[in-house]
A and B are shown apart, each in its own frame.
Chain A
Amino acid sequence: MLIFVGKRIGFMILTMVVVSILLFLLLELTPGNVATKVLGPYSSEEQRNLWLEAHGYFEPFYIRYFDWLGNFASGNFGDSVRFKVPVSEVLWPRLANTAILGIATFAVMIPLSLILGVLAGMREGSKTDRSISIVSIVTTSIPEFASAVFITAILVFWLKLLPGTSTMTYGFDIVQLILPAMVLIIYDFGYVTRMTRASMAEVMTTQYIRTAVLKGLPYRRVVMRHALRNALIAPFTVIMLQINWLLSGVIVVEFFFAYKGFGALLLEASLNKDIYLIEACAMVAVLVAVATQTIADIGYTYLNPRIRFS
Chain B
Amino acid sequence: MSKKSKDKMHPYIPELVNKLRKGEVTRRDFLNTATLLGVSAGAAYAMAGLPAPGRKAHAAAKKGGNLRVSMNVKATDDPATFDWSEKGNVARHMTESLVRIGDDGVAQPVLAESWSASEDLKTWTFNLRKNATWSNGDAFGADDVIFNFRRWLDPKTGSSNQGRFSSMTTTSDTGNKDENGNAIMSTTEAGGALEKIDDHTVRFNLNNADLALPESMADYPALIVNRRFEDDGGDLIKNPVGTGPYTLKEFAIGEKATLVRRTDAPWWGGETYLDKISYIDHGDDPAAQVAALASDQVDTNYQTSIEQVGTIKNIADLEIYERVTAQTGVARMHVTAAPYDNKKLRQAIQACVDHDKMLKFVYRGRGGPAEDHHVAPVHPEYAELPKLKQDYDKAKKLLAEAGYADGIELRIDCVANPPWEQNACLALSEMVKPAGIDLKINIMPGGTYWDVWASTPFGFTAWTHRALGVQVLNLAYRSGVAWNETNYSNPEFDKTLDQAGGILDPNERRKVTRKLEEILQDDAIISQSLWRSVFVTANKRVKGLYAQVALEHHYNGVWLDG
Q: Which residues of A are in contact with B by a Cβ distance under 8 Å?
A: 31-33, 36-37, 39-44, 46-47, 82-84, 149, 152, 156-157, 160, 162-165, 167, 169, 255-258, 260, 264, 268, 271-273
Residues of B within 8 A of A164 (CB): 288, 290-292, 294-295, 297
Q: Is the CB of A255 within 8 A of B285?
A: yes
Bound-complex Cα distance A165 to B256 (A)? 14
Interface stretch (choices B275-283, B332-340, B512-520): B275-283
Q: Is the CB of A260 within 8 A of B255?
A: yes
Q: Which of B75, B256, B446 contacts A84 (CB 8 A)?
A: B75
Some 17 contacts from A to B, beta carbons below 8 A apart, are: A31-B451, A32-B448, A36-B451, A40-B82, A40-B158, A42-B483, A46-B155, A46-B156, A47-B156, A47-B158, A82-B253, A156-B294, A162-B295, A163-B292, A164-B294, A167-B280, A256-B285
Q: Is the CB of A156 within 8 A of B283?
A: no
B160 at the interface (CB under 8 A from A): yes
Number of residues from B at the complex interface, CB < 8 A: 41
Q: Is the CB of B287 within 8 A of A42?
A: no
Q: Is the CB of A157 within 8 A of B294?
A: yes
B81 at the interface (CB under 8 A from A): yes
B345 at the interface (CB under 8 A from A): no
Mask, B431-444, CB within 8 Å of A = 1, is 00000000000000
Across chains A and B, the number of contacting residue pairs, with CB separation under 8 Å, is 111
Q: Is the CB of A44 within 8 A of B155?
A: yes
B445 at the interface (CB under 8 A from A): yes
Bound-complex Cα distance A31 to B446 (A)? 14
B77 at the interface (CB under 8 A from A): yes
Bound-complex Cα distance A156 to B282 (A)? 16
Q: Which of A41, A46, A165, A260 contacts B453 (CB 8 A)?
A: A41
Q: Is the CB of B285 within 8 A of A258?
A: yes
Residues of A within 8 A of B483 (CB): 42
Say how far A296's CB is from chain B's closest CB, in angstroms.
34
Q: Which of B83, B253, B292 contacts A83 (CB 8 A)?
A: B253
Known: A41-B450, A47-B156, A258-B288. 11 other contacts (CB 8 A): A39-B158, A41-B454, A42-B454, A43-B158, A84-B77, A164-B291, A165-B297, A255-B283, A258-B282, A258-B285, A271-B448
Q: Which of A42, A47, A272 contacts B83 (CB 8 A)?
A: A42
Bound-complex Cα distance A162 to B295 (A)? 7
Q: Is the CB of B282 within 8 A of A165?
A: yes
Bound-complex Cα distance A152 to B297 (A)? 14
Residues of A within 8 A of B82 (CB): 40
Bound-complex Cα distance A258 to B482 (A)? 34
- Nearest CB to that of A257 among chain B residues? B288
Q: Which of A40, A152, A156, A258 contacts B81 (CB 8 A)?
A: A40
Residues of A within 8 A of B252 (CB): 83
Q: Is the CB of B292 within 8 A of A165?
A: yes
Q: Is the CB of B447 within 8 A of A271?
A: yes
Known: A42-B81, A271-B445. Is A167-B255 also a contact (CB below 8 A)? yes
Q: Is the CB of A256 within 8 A of B254?
A: no
